[in-house]
Amino acid sequence: MPYPAGHSAEVKGKIIESARRLFNRHGFDNVSLDQIMSGAGLTRGGFYNHFNSKSDLYTEVLGCFFTDPTWKNQWDGVEIDMTSESLAPQVVRAYLSRQHFENVENSCPMVALPTDVTRSSQAARSAFENVFHAMVGLLERDVVASRSDSHNRAQAIAALCIGGMIVARAMSSRAAADDLRGGCMSVALALGGWQNDREL
């Protein structure tokens, strides 16, 4: 009996979600295909029906809400209205939120996986770069600045969000981590000209 329409895409999505959680928590090198497939509720044999290799899967895991229209927010209490005319300040606040900080398994892959990306394939590095450029593009459209300056500001804001979260997670002191996130958020919002936007 044939599988219903959409079955293959559903299975592939389960594998990607399982891999994202495990890679975010343990890193690329420390996760096996058996663990990924078990986390998806599947057997290892079906993996190669959807991916050529673990590295191939990795490039798919690097997608997030900047590039994936089906991405579902997993950060409880954080709302991002993708149709809003003022989306960028929402993204900054969500990215540097306590919820994103605490929810390691559902992190944006640019926070959880950059060191793995630098050691990985050219395809993975290109995928990472595409996600970063998508984030910059989203931020740039809302930057309150001259056109000649908006791209630079958007890149700096994206780097503050990503780098701020990476450093905050590396700190042993939660108070210091929270202070850093708050500082990065304040500077990022100021760079975009969004200081007076309503908070999430």
Residue 173 to residues 72, 75, 93, 180, Cα–Cα distance (Å):
30, 22, 21, 11
pLDDT band for position 27 (cuts 50, 70, 90): confident
Rounded percentage of the chain residues whose pLDDT exceeds 70: 88
How much is the pLDDT for 41? 93
The Cα–Cα gap between 100 and 106 comes to 8
Q: Do residue 116 and residue 187 come from a single domain?
A: yes
Q: Are 177 and 141 contained in the same domain?
A: yes
pLDDT in the model for residue 199? 47
Give the pLDDT score at 162: 95
Question: Do 106 and 162 belong together in one domain?
Answer: yes
Phi (first) and psi of residue 73, to 5 degrees: -65, 125
Residues near 23 by beta carbon (within 8 Å), at least 6 away in sequence: 31, 58, 61, 109, 112, 113, 116
35 or 8: whose pLDDT is higher? Answer: 35
Is the domain of 102 the same as that of 54? Answer: no
pLDDT band at 133 (very low <50, low <70, confident <90, very high): very high
Identify the residue whose tokens are 């100021």: 190
- The pair of three-digit structure tokens given for residue 90, joined into one six-digit string: 């929402």
Average pLDDT score over the chain: 85
Asked if residue 70 belongs to a domain, the reply is no
Q: Does any domain span residue 32?
A: yes
CATH number of the domain encompassing residue 112: 1.10.357.10
Do 117 and 31 reside in the same domain of the chain?
Answer: no
Question: Is there a domain that residue 155 lies in?
Answer: yes
Look at the chain and count its residues: 200
Residues 93 and 147 in one domain: yes
Between residues 45 and 7, which one has the greater pLDDT? Answer: 45
Q: Is the pLDDT of residue 198 over 80?
A: no
Report the domain count for the chain.
2
42 Cβ neighbours under 8 A, 6+ residues apart: 11, 14, 15
d(CA 35, CA 132): 28
Same domain (yes/no): 127, 166: yes
Note whether residue 79 is domain-resident: no
> Which of 149, 139, 152 has its CA nearest to residue 194?
139
Same domain, 44 and 98: no
Report pLDDT digits (tens) over 90-111: 889 999 999 999 988 888 888 8
**Predicted local confidence at residue 72, as pLDDT:** 65
**90 neighbors 81 (Cβ within 8 angstroms):** yes
Residue 179: inside a domain: yes
Q: Are 93 and 155 in a shared domain?
A: yes
pLDDT at 1 over 60: no
Q: Do 119 and 161 belong to one domain? A: yes
* More confidently predicted of 78 and 149: 149
In terms of phi and psi (left: phi > 0; alpha: psi -120 to 50; beta: otherwise), the region of 146 is: beta
Residues spanned by the domain of 93: 87-192
